[in-house]
Structure 1
C-alpha cells in the first residue's frame, strides 16, 4: 500500500546519479535509512537537458514506487542530482530554467557527487575509468577537474580510448604494417573482416561502442598478448598522470572508480597505486549528501529556500 508524504512528515531525501549509461536514484530518511531505489536510462546532458531530466524523473518515480510512497511524494523530496555533461555549453543555464518535480533540488557534476560519496564529503579525489575518464578533487573548498572533455578528443585511459587504440592496431595488422596477434584478429572478427566493413562500423560507432572492446583488450593483456599489453599499459600510464595531478593538488585520499577500475588497478605502477584508497560510498551517496546540505539551508520569509541551484 502506498504511503502518503505530507509537509509535516519527516523530511525525506533523494540522491540521483545521472550518467552516460544509466541513471540511479535512492530515497533515504533523515537517519539515512534506505527507503527505495530506482533506475532509468542515460541522463547525461549530451542527450539534451529535457531528455536528461526525463531520465531523472523516471528513476525518481521508480524509487518512490519502490519505497511504497504515493506518486505525489516527489514534490516533498529534497533532491541532490549529479549529471554527466553538466559543464557542456548551455547546460547549466538550461537546468536552472527546467521544471523539476522536487520540493527543492541542487545539481552538480557526476564527478562531484562521485567524489563526495567516495570520501563521505571530506577532502579527496577520484579518477574515473569507465566509458570515459576524468580526474576530480575537492580540497579545502577548491576543486580541480582534469580531462573528461569527451571522446575522442579527451578521456585518455578510458574504455572508449582503449577501444579506439585497438581498432587502429587492427587496421595496421590488416595492412601488414604489424604482425597480427590473437587479440587483433578477434577485434577484426568482431568489427568486420575487411577495412571497408571496419570503417563503416567506425563511422557509426559511439564511445560506448568503442568501450565494448576494452574488456577484450584487458583479457588479452592479462594473457600477455603484446598489442593488448601495449594498449592497456598506456591507458594505465594516462590514469597515473591523472592520479599524480590530484596528489599534487593536495588531495589526501584518491579513489579509482568506474567499470574498468578493478581491472586497470593492477596495471598502475606501484609508485602511483600506493596513493589509492577504496571508496567509502557510491555517487548516489554523494548526491544524497548534497540533498541534505540543501535541506539545511534556512527557509526565507516566504517559506521557501533559495530554490534550484548548481554547485
Structure 2
C-alpha cells in the first residue's frame, strides 16, 4: 500500500492531509504558523507536528509511515538558503518534495494541469503554470509591490486620512473612520506608522471596502484603482500563456463585484484546494474514470 501526505504551510496556519492509494483521506493535521520566516528548526517542528497528527489519526505503523510520499507547500521557501536548509531536514518518509504555498494552491485549483491563480489578500501575487512551466507574477512585497491588495488599500486610506487632517483634501467618512482610530491626532498616526507592516495596513482594507460600497467618493477611487491593477494582473496571466485563471485570497470575494463583466467571465472556480495540490506534488494521481 502506498500513502501520500500533503502539507500546506503558511503564515497563519499549517495543515496536513494523508490519503491512501485510492485517494481516501485517512488522517489530517492542523497547526499554527509554519512559513520560512519563523526559522528552519521551528518550521521543521511545525511540519513534523501536523504530519505526526495525520499519521496517528490513520494508525499507521512505522513501516507504513516509511512508504509515505510527501508534498509540502511552504510560504517563504523562495528566500535565499531556505531550500538548501530544507534538504537537510529529516522526515521518516520515502520521499519529500518541496514547493511554494502558491504553487501547490495553483496545482490544486487546476487539478495539476496548466492554469493560474491570482491571490488577493494582505498581499497580491499570481502563480502560473503554462506549457508545464511554473512562474510567478508580482508578489515582491509591500510597499514596493502587492498592487490591488488589502495592504495597498490600507496604505491609500491612511494617506487620504493624513491629507484630510492637514486640510489638503476634503474629509470623507472614510478619512474620519481612519483618524478616529488615532484620536484624530496626526502624531498618533505617525507613531503607528513607524512600526506598521503590511498586515497592519491590510486590517484597514475591510473599512475601505465598507465605505466604497456606501459610495464614499475617495474610498471608491481607492478601490477602483486597485481593480485596475487586478484586471491588469489577469490580462498579463493570459498574455503569458495561462489557459485558466482562478481568483483567490481573503479579499477576492469583495473585489470580484467591482471587476468588469468580461473579466469575471474569464475566471474559473477552483477544482480543489492547496492540500490537493500538495498531494499532486507528492505524486498522487487520481484514478481515471472509465
Q: TM-score, normalised by structure 1?
A: 0.85
Q: 1:264 aligns with which of 255, 269, 279?
A: 255
Take 2:208 and 2:65, find their aligned partners in 1: how far apart are those partners?
A: 43
CA shift for structure 1 position 202: 1.9
Residue by residue over 1:31-68, the C-alpha shift from the partner in whole angstroms, topping out at 9 and shown as x without a partner, is 11122222222222123233333322232233334445
Q: Using the alignment, how far apart are the partners of 1:210 and 1:33 within structure 2? A: 41
Paired residues of 2:35 and 2:43 also in contact (CA < 8 A): yes
Contact 2:106 2:277 in 1 (8 A): yes
1:70 positional shift: 6.4
Question: 1:64·1:71 contact (CA, 8 Å) conserved in 2?
Answer: no
**In the alignment, structure 1 residue 228 sits paired with structure 2 residue 244:** no
Q: Paired residue for 1:237?
A: 228
1:165 aligns with 156
Q: 2: CA distance between counterparts of 1:145 and 1:287?
A: 18
User: Partner of 2:264 in structure 1?
Assistant: 273
Deviation of residue 112 (structure 1)? Answer: 0.8
Report SS of the residue matched to 2:247.
strand
Query: Aligned pair count?
Result: 285
Q: State the distance in 2 between where 1:80 and 1:197 align.
A: 46
Choose the corresponding residue for 2:97, options 97, 103, 106: 106
Change (3 A) 1:75 1:177: farther
Instruction: Describe the SS at the equivalent of 1:149.
Output: coil
What is the match of residue 276 of structure 2?
Answer: 285
Q: Residues 145-204 of structure 1: CA distance to partner in whole angstroms, max 9, x if unpaired?
A: 101122222111111221122122111111111122112211222345312212222222
Q: Distance in 2 between matches of 1:60 and 1:108?
A: 17
2:116 corresponds to 1:121: no
Q: Which runs of 5+ in 2 are unaligned?
A: 286-290
Q: 2:131 aligns with which of 117, 125, 140?
A: 140
Q: Shift of residue 29 of structure 1?
A: 1.4
Mark the CA change 1:145 to 1:96 in structure 2 (over 3 Å): closer, same or farther: same
CA-CA distance at 1:69 after TM superposition: 4.9
Q: Does 1:197 align with 2:184?
A: no
Alpha-carbon distance between aligned partners in 2 of 1:218 and 1:134, rounded to the nearest angstrom:
20
The one of 122, 142, 155 aligned to 1:131: 122
Q: 1:182 to 1:28 in 2, by over 3 A?
A: same
Q: Does 1:83 align with 2:74?
A: yes
Report the counterpart of residue 186 of structure 1 in structure 2: 177
The range that moved more, 10-19 or 67-76, is 67-76
Aligned-CA RMSD value: 2.1
Structure 1: stretches of 5+ with no match in the other structure:
1-9, 295-311
Change (3 A) 1:162 1:62: farther
Is 2:165–2:184's contact at 8 Å kept on the other side of the alignment? no
Q: 2:167 aligns with which of 169, 176, 180?
A: 176
Q: 1:177 to 1:257 in 2, by over 3 A?
A: same
Give the Cα–Cα distance (whole angstroms) in 2 for the partners of residues 81 and 215 of structure 1: 31
Deviation, structure 1 residue 279: 0.7
CA–CA distance in structure 2, aligned partners of residues 245 and 36 of structure 1: 39
